Chains A and B, each alone.
Chain A
Amino acid sequence: MNFVNSLKSEWLKTRRSAASWLCLAGGLFMPFIFLTGLLVKHRTLNDYGITETAWKTFTLQQWELMSVLLLPLGIVLAGTLMTQVEYKNNTWKQLHTTPQTYSTIFFAKLAAIVFMTVLFFILFQLGIILSGFIPSLVFKKTLPGQPLPWRFFWNINRHMFIGCLPVIALQFLLSLQLKNFIIPVGIGIMMVIASVILVKTTAYAWLCPYTYTILFLSGDANKLAKVNLDLISTAYFILISIAAYVLYKSRKEKG
């Protein structure tokens, strides 16, 4: 119960915050671009060729652009911003004098970032669906003929979400340790760029936790044959989170 209350408190802190605006704008950005493109060209989902896979093709197109840069960068920024809210507002001392264990504070904060990521995925998925529906309603005055591939949506979202978890944990760790907002963001951006290069140049890109969102979508199947990305990603998330907690707990100054 303590944890739930702490999580509610953390979630309230995101209200009108830069991270929440980023989540909203980031989640709807790509669908808005696609929607605008379709409306301008007077196209609908039916114009995607193979009708049975129109939704899949349409979704993958949006994910391809999202997974390489926008998603990891968004996670870097939102994760860092949400953690840094305490430094920015000089509130660590207030938070650490509330009757909560350090583990409750830590995991509630981490959970709030994970929840924000889930919200981003929901918004993005809704955006994809709406950007498919709206042109059909406008031009054909009817809904798209193809059924929504819910299982496909679930699978791609699940993989991508799991792929984001190590990035969330790493950015969380960095943001807790470094008071200066620029450093964790800078490191995050550098890692995102490095991960793009790694995916293009080495078979061992999967060792870098920032590569998973790209690898899930565009990874060479042969390269990844022996690697379970979901498993590695989850393992990284757990290990990095434990490391972040140990470092946070052992901090000499808590505000």
Chain B
Amino acid sequence: MYCIQTDGLTYSYSRQERILNGLNLKIPQGSIYGFLGPNGAGKTTTLRLILGLIRKQNGSVTIFGKPFEGNRIEILKRTGTLIESPSIYANLTAAENLKALQYIYQCPESRINDVLKMVGLHGTGNKMAGKFSLGMKQRLSIAMALLNNPELLILDEPTNGLDPNGIIEIRELLKKLNKEQGMTIVISSHLLGEVEKLVSDVGIIHNGSLLFQGTLQELKIKQENSAAICFETGDAGSTFSMFVENGITPLGSKDGKVLIPPVPKEKIAFLNRILNEASVDVYSISIQHNDLESIFINLIK
């Protein structure tokens, strides 16, 4: 069951500039979905389209199994959002900002203090939100998104402006909400490393197209498959040819190093032996792992 599903979502600001190319997002219920992509990839446009903030041109958006059009109010009652930069009223205190939303959501008034505590802003008292630091504003925005205790939480780059401690705190809070309440969380970021420790599912978007979508586990398998064995020898050219003669197609060679795909350890010993027999000096044999960040970068290259 998907919490959010888009089919063929396409959007362009002008005829020349297409922002999204038939996006098919499938965000599983109860997942923490990392929506990744570099700046300008189309993440925010996608989220704004999903929430009806910009008018859909092509494709469809289904949330909680219902089309967004025609069910907007019902869907938004169950959704919390933070889109891009903080949206707060500078002339109000943190509690008043939440009160303005509480009137609309009609949730218990006690939720105001609860969410303020959750994001660590319960001590801000009468300080106007306009005087908050960027990190505090971001925390308040997260509190506003959590006020109605939503089933679906959409956070667009929520860690902007947060210090490392703040990032960890928010990450732990989101994990807890997901685990304890089964809250589906969509979190967009341009940094895989930032959400890697949090997400269960990943979608990678670049130039308006989805390059990868699946579980974090699937992305990690992709990572493992992209690992390589590196032979550092005295003659890279001969090493390369000898590997080919023995049925191994190297991935490439650079700076006296030859990279081959993962092979059983017996095969590594065999390759080492034939290099020794051909009097090619072997300085090192090592396994090179691509971290998730480099896979991400390779995908969007």
Contact = CB atoms under 8 A, between A and B. Distances in A.
A96 B52 contact: yes
B76 A13 contact: no
Interface string B60-81: 0000000000001110110101
Contacts of B90: 88-89
Interface residues of B, number: 33
B105 interface: yes
Contact of A93 (B74, B79, B87, B128): B87
B169 interface: no
Contacts of A96: 51-53
Given A6-B103, A90-B86, A93-B84, A16 B79 contact: no
A252 interface: yes
Contacts of A222: none
A12 B81 contact: no
A85 B104 contact: no
Given A12-B100, A12-B103, A85 B87 contact: no
B165 interface: no
Nearest to B78: A99
Tell me whether chain A's interface is mostly helix, strand or loop, or mixed. loop
Interface residues of A, number: 26
A155 B260 CA distance: 92
Interface string A75-99: 0000000000100111101101111
B257 interface: no
Contacts of B73: 99-101
A94 B87 contact: yes
Contact of B83 (A5, A16, A255): A255
Interface in B74-110: 74, 76-77, 79, 81, 83-92, 96, 99-101, 103-106
Closest 5 CB pairs of A and B: A94-B87, A99-B76, A9-B103, A99-B77, A91-B87
